[in-house]
Amino acid sequence: MAIYALGDREPTIADDVYIHPDAVVIGDVILAEGVSVWPTAVLRGDAGTITVGRRTNIQDGTIIHCTPMDATVIGEECVVGHNAHIEGATIGDHCLIASGSVVLNGSTIGRGAIVGAGAVVPFKFDVPERTMALGVPAKIREGYQVPEGHIDLNVEVYHQNAKYFRESLRRIG
């Protein structure tokens, strides 16, 4: 796996974190217990801090960055889907940031919310708790409340997959 310090900025990684060998973690990145980071994901804490909460999974191809003004904070038990991009935003616990979505600087995603696949959450936009943001630019889906526990199965599957990959992944070519 590619884990880098950048000057005096070094990642802080809990003992049971799984980082795929083709993922990249650079600089001031804090990964809590049970986090998994999958192939070709890049977490680059060069100008600020990235914090990822307990049992969150960062799926394949995701880019997470920050700025000197806007740290990136991702809560506990979140699912960050394939090819998502999060930059200088705050994501609450139990959120789904679906595949191909973008969450930009100064935005907040409330606890239990969903950012739909391909959605673009613009600068300084707030997605309230347990709501769904869809579209480009993202708008809140009116009259819909995300059910409690909507991503629990995905969180558990990725947590178990991380254990399996840690024990069984081997390069053969």
What are the structural domains of the chain? 2-168 (2.160.10.10)
Note the pLDDT of residue 125: 98
Tens of each residue's pLDDT in the chain, 173 residues: 699 999 999 999 999 999 999 999 999 999 999 999 999 999 999 999 999 999 999 999 999 999 999 999 999 999 999 999 999 999 999 999 999 999 999 999 999 999 999 999 999 999 999 999 999 999 999 999 999 999 999 999 999 999 999 999 999 99
H/E stretch holding 158: helix 152-168
- pTM beyond 0.95: the answer is yes
Residue 117: name the closest of 149, 83, 92 by CA. Answer: 83
**Dihedral, CA of residue 139, residue 92, residue 118 and residue 38, to nearest 10:** 180
Please identify which residue in the block is written with the tokens 């038990």: 77
Give counts: helices (H), strands (E), the chain: 1, 20
Rounded-to-integer distance, Cα 87 and Cα 105, Å: 5
Query: Both tokens of residue 122?
Result: 């613009």
